[in-house]
Structure 1
């Protein structure tokens, strides 16, 4: 029977680089299966742990603390003929123009020419979800800045990852089996783009709050303050044990 877990690469918000850029890796039997988000510090943590670039990657949105490693990842992949074009990049269709604009559109990805940014990847655009290694992953909209620009990911029976978001109780209630651990954006104080702990305590019922594992906070002291309120708080390098996925048809 396979062993499943989320390995936590980083948990910090855009200012908390000492906590690593927010990112996790779904592992099966200790091997990386899917990386979620690719900030600069997250890519460094991934390479240090697995000794090779990711073979599959999902992006939640295009703020630089979540995609700043993508230029360096291009170099890692493109200049290795065995890996060039093999990394499966699962990209919500609405984000394709944003990744093109923010990352891929720099004139001349290589000074000597002859390469397109997308040559390094196998891009798989999607809307409501995607298949990866025989499993169906649900993709859902988050509430972060403008509508249609940020998304979360769920694997039924195993986990939900919100990405950066305000409270989305109605989305979470409709996902999975109703028992999966939820890695949720949360700081001490909320703002128009991110959840604060008082927002979640006000809007989520106790059964949903009990499933939350918080990340994307502002400092180690903030994490301690969240724990003092009875919250479960993720830290870099942690492994969060998961149940095996439940089969879905997509």
Structure 2
């Protein structure tokens, strides 16, 4: 499923069904400059941790023809994606952009200091995600791949099996199994990895210190840091997609509208007027 909804450090972005994009939140690096984009099928927003000295971010758009567009912070060349082609999915981390090619191989640009861009040998990949300093993927056989910083064990996922999806937070990684159960590893200071009891999940999303899952009944559950109310999603119903930013959470409803919870200091939760379905 294409990622039509994304949440970054201090901004939110979405892809409408007519291929255009909309964004809200902090635009200090141009990460919200997406109104001229067209032909999109997916978006990604760089999600960095919530330290006060962070904030600049970047946004990635995947076009229907397999090419990629980017805007925002480019300190390490993380927006240098104009020559990419035959891309099926995109992911954005702190100073890193990851692309999944249609042949199952992967490509990355951006910061390399922690090894998060060392993905050129990956093959048979079906799902990708970027954290702050690590990159992860799921192969077609349900096994996991990871590279980059492993300070909190966030890249120790080689033993995971039967995966269909994956998401990466600041220093934790979350995996979705084919039976709807969820697994997580890494930093757990806010209980963001306490997902062992979850079931019937169809999607997962990792923020800086919180984890969110979409259930098959359209409801949403969350664990972890809730200082900004980013885990206050239990009342949501009819949700079809989710995204977790640094300190906010987004949900796409059946009618194409968006709900949001969490930090709104930069207006990243001002999404109530968005309509992704344009008849």
TM range (shorter): 0.3 to 0.5
Q: Which structure is richer in relative contact order (CA contacts within 8 A, separation 6 or more)?
A: 1
Q: Which structure: greater helix fraction?
A: 1
Looking at secondary structure, tell me which structure has more strand per residue. Answer: 2
- Give the greater-gyration-radius structure (CA): 1
TM-score w.r.t. length of structure 1 = 0.39
TM-score, normalised via structure 2 length: 0.36
